């Protein structure tokens, strides 16, 4: 258990000023303000990206192109993918990381607060720039933007897409520098790295990936830009270039990007489950180090996206083996979460429901991932809806449900108000049904041979597609209780108090929302973060006893 002690802070600022609402709209260096800025921005883009998804699903309700034109369908699918990845899940992870890391390690702010604010303020312009491409004809080559397709489908839309990704990518690199430095260098006295909350561990792993892989995407995009604007032929086979080089560089980033998107929420789940099961986490070190193993393996699996790109046999075999190996550290985590819940006093509140939903649907995405790793099956279903189903189970069933688990868990800390439980549960039930209804039929569609990324399809696929479309509408409806709940909590919500869940990590040992410098006194940590269930009277009393005994 973490125990904050009353120690006078040697560098306490005399007059911590009050938080004003204007702070959230300006260049503010407080990590909590930046965290909220990231979260609000990413939630807005969630709705924008969701809007494009609904357009696509509406179009796909019938085999003919009768709702939007095929060109606009391509634009919608490119914007949907790009927004959901780069402007929803990645910045939402950064939002949680910004808000929580300094609190969790007992620091008063990030290591580089100004750099942190710069990183945030790159995000909204990047997003607006991306959307502005609609004015000149949005990019149509999908979020992967493979050349030569991306060289043929509208120069300026594609170039705007590149610029926007470079901006957002820079933002995430700067964020990662901050996270790593804060976690490695600024932990409170007594917080050994092996006492760090698991969310921090997973952010450490994700930040390392951001640092090592995002630059490769930048390299690919710089060369693609030259091809588009200056007329070079790096990726254009007509001029002696090689599109496969782009694929290598792109996937060297974009496969790790999957882990950049899922690791933060692995961490969030590892913090949510013990609290609401009232049990110590099962296998702390296994979960912590398996994140690092995922990071390492994540860097050497990229070519499994390129089985059908003329990759030689020995290389396919290598990447098949490494890809399947990733199931091991991931499986370790899933078993640890289940073992943590086993025999616990589980309270089925919204956070815990989303966490359990995360574990179950992520397992489906993980298993189809192993299926896709195996070469013979992958060649068969490459570029079909099976792949779409797979990665939506990972990114929606995984990342997004994990994100909402974290959202409901830390909402009282961030806002100081309780979220209405009935609305939260309604949100979960609608989301969970909607998600399975939307993405489960896609596996079958893929096995039947329906191609991804096209507005038109064969008559025989219609009934399954309509199922997907109804699911997508249900997902749209599922956000209603969320939005209503947020406003209800902000204006009418019951006060949360410092520690409504009786949690032991440091962020719960300060007020809700925390004061500007986080802790009135520098906390000193004496024990691990997940020692639940040992003492029948639970958290606060234990903290007090320890403070007295020292």
Report the interface residues with another protein, using CB under 8 A.
5, 7-8, 10-11, 13, 107-109, 111-113, 115, 173, 176-178, 180-181, 184-186, 189-190, 211-216, 218-220, 222-223, 226, 230-234, 239-242, 244-245, 248-249, 252, 522, 524, 550
* Nearest-approach distance from CB 26 to another protein, in angstroms: 19
Strand partners, 417: 495
* Nearest-approach distance from CB 230 to another protein, in angstroms: 6
319, two tokens:
């990447």
DSSP state, residue 236: -
* Nearest-approach distance from CB 218 to another protein, in angstroms: 5
* Nearest-approach distance from CB 368 to another protein, in angstroms: 30
Residue with tokens 């696509």: 56
DSSP characters over 165-219: HHHHHHHHHHHHHHHHHHHHH-PPTT--GGGS-HHHHHHHHHHHHHHHHHHHHHH
Contact by Cβ (8 Å): 21, 35: no
226 contact partners, CB below 8 Å, separation of at least 6: 232, 234
> What is the maximal distance between C-alpha atoms in the chain?
77
Task: Closer to another protein by CB, 312 or 536: give it.
Answer: 312
What radius of gyration, in Å, describes the C-alpha atoms of the chain? 23
CA-wise closest residue to 125 among 77, 98, 91, 76: 91
278, two tokens:
């009232």
Contact by Cβ (8 Å): 423, 485: yes
| Cα–Cα distances in angstroms (integers) from residue 215 to residues 115, 173, 220, 329, 549, in the given order | 18, 8, 9, 25, 50
Task: Closer to another protein by CB, 60 or 94: give it.
Answer: 94
> Residue 426 CB: number of other CB atoms within 10 A?
18
544 contact partners, CB below 8 Å, separation of at least 6: none
* Nearest-approach distance from CB 548 to another protein, in angstroms: 12
* Nearest-approach distance from CB 111 to another protein, in angstroms: 5
* Nearest-approach distance from CB 247 to another protein, in angstroms: 11
Q: Cα–Cα distance between 137 and 153 in angstroms, integer?
A: 9
Q: Cα–Cα distance between 220 and 144 in angstroms, integer?
A: 11
Task: Closer to another protein by CB, 255 or 390: give it.
Answer: 255
Contact by Cβ (8 Å): 63, 457: yes
Q: Cα–Cα distance between 303 and 321 in angstroms, integer?
A: 11
Task: Closer to another protein by CB, 252 or 508: give it.
Answer: 252
Task: Closer to another protein by CB, 219 or 454: give it.
Answer: 219
Task: Closer to another protein by CB, 129 or 219: give it.
Answer: 219
Task: Closer to another protein by CB, 240 or 376: give it.
Answer: 240
137, two tokens:
């004809």
* Nearest-approach distance from CB 105 to another protein, in angstroms: 12
* Nearest-approach distance from CB 186 to another protein, in angstroms: 6
DSSP state, residue 513: S
Tell me what percent of the chain is helix, strand and coil, each rounded to the nearest 5.
70, 0, 30
Task: Closer to another protein by CB, 39 or 188: give it.
Answer: 188
* Nearest-approach distance from CB 438 to another protein, in angstroms: 35
152, two tokens:
């043929």
* Nearest-approach distance from CB 252 to another protein, in angstroms: 7
CA-wise closest residue to 279 among 104, 5, 502, 96: 502
Task: Closer to another protein by CB, 115 or 433: give it.
Answer: 115
Three-class SS state of 417: strand
Q: Cα–Cα distance between 41 and 75 in angstroms, integer?
A: 22
Task: Closer to another protein by CB, 234 or 362: give it.
Answer: 234
* Nearest-approach distance from CB 242 to another protein, in angstroms: 6
Task: Closer to another protein by CB, 186 or 286: give it.
Answer: 186
Task: Closer to another protein by CB, 241 or 514: give it.
Answer: 241
């Amino acid at each position: 258990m973490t125990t904050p002690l009353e120690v006078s802070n040697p560098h306490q600022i005399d007059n911590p000023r009050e938080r004003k609402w204007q702070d959230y709209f300006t260049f503010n260096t407080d990590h909590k303000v930046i965290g909220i800025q990231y979260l609000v921005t990413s939630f807005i883009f969630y709705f924008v990206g969701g809007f494009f998804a609904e357009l696509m699903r509406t179009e796909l309700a019938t085999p003919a192109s009768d709702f939007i034109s095929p060109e606009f369908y391509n634009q919608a699918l490119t914007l949907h993918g790009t927004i959901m990845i780069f402007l929803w899940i990645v910045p939402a992870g950064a939002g949680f990381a910004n808000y929580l890391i300094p609190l969790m390690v007992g620091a008063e702010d990030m290591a580089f607060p100004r750099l942190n604010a710069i990183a945030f303020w790159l995000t909204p312009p990047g997003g607006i720039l991306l959307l502005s491409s609609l004015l000149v004809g949005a990019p149509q080559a999908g979020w992967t933007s493979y050349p030569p397709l991306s060289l043929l489908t509208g120069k300026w839309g594609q170039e705007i897409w590149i610029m926007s990704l470079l901006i957002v990518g820079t933002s995430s690199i700067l964020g990662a520098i901050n996270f790593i430095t804060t976690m490695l260098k600024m932990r409170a006295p007594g917080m050994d790295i092996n006492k760090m909350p698991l969310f921090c561990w997973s952010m450490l792993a994700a930040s390392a990936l951001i640092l090592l892989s995002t630059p490769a995407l930048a390299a690919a995009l710089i060369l693609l830009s030259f091809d588009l604007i200056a007329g070079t032929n790096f990726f254009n086979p007509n001029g002696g270039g090689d599109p496969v080089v782009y694929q290598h560089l792109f996937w060297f980033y974009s496969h790790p990007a999957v882990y950049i998107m899922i690791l933060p929420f692995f961490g969030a789940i590892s913090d949510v489950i013990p609290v609401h099961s009232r049990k110590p986490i099962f296998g702390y070190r296994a979960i912590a180090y398996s994140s690092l193993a995922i990071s390492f393996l994540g860097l050497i699996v990229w070519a499994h996206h390129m089985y059908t790109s003329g990759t030689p046999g020995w290389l396919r075999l290598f990447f098949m083996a490494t890809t399947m190996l990733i199931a091991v550290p991931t499986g370790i985590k899933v078993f640890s979460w289940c073992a943590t819940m086993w025999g616990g006093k589980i309270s089925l509140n919204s956070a815990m429901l989303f966490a359990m939903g995360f574990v179950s649907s992520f397992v489906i995405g993980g298993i189809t991932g192993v299926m896709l790793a195996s070469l013979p099956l992958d060649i068969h279903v490459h570029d079909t809806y099976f792949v779409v189903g797979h990665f939506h189970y990972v990114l929606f069933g995984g990342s997004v449900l994990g994100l909402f688990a974290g959202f409901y868990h830390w909402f009282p800390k961030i806002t100081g108000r309780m979220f209405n439980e009935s609305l939260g549960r309604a949100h979960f039930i609608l989301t969970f049904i909607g998600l399975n209804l939307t993405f489960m039929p896609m596996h079958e569609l893929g096995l039947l041979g329906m191609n991804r990324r096209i507005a038109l399809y064969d008559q025989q696929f219609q009934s399954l597609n309509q199922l997907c479309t109804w699911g997508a509408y249900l997902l749209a409806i599922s956000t209603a209780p969320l939005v209503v709940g947020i406003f209800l909590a902000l204006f009418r919500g019951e006060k949360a108090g410092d520690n409504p869940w009786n949690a032991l990590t440091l962020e719960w040992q300060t007020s809700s929302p925390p004061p500007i410098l986080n802790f009135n006194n520098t906390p000193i940590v004496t024990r691990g973060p997940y020692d639940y269930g040992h003492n029948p009277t639970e958290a606060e009393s234990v903290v007090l006893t320890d403070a007295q005994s020292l």
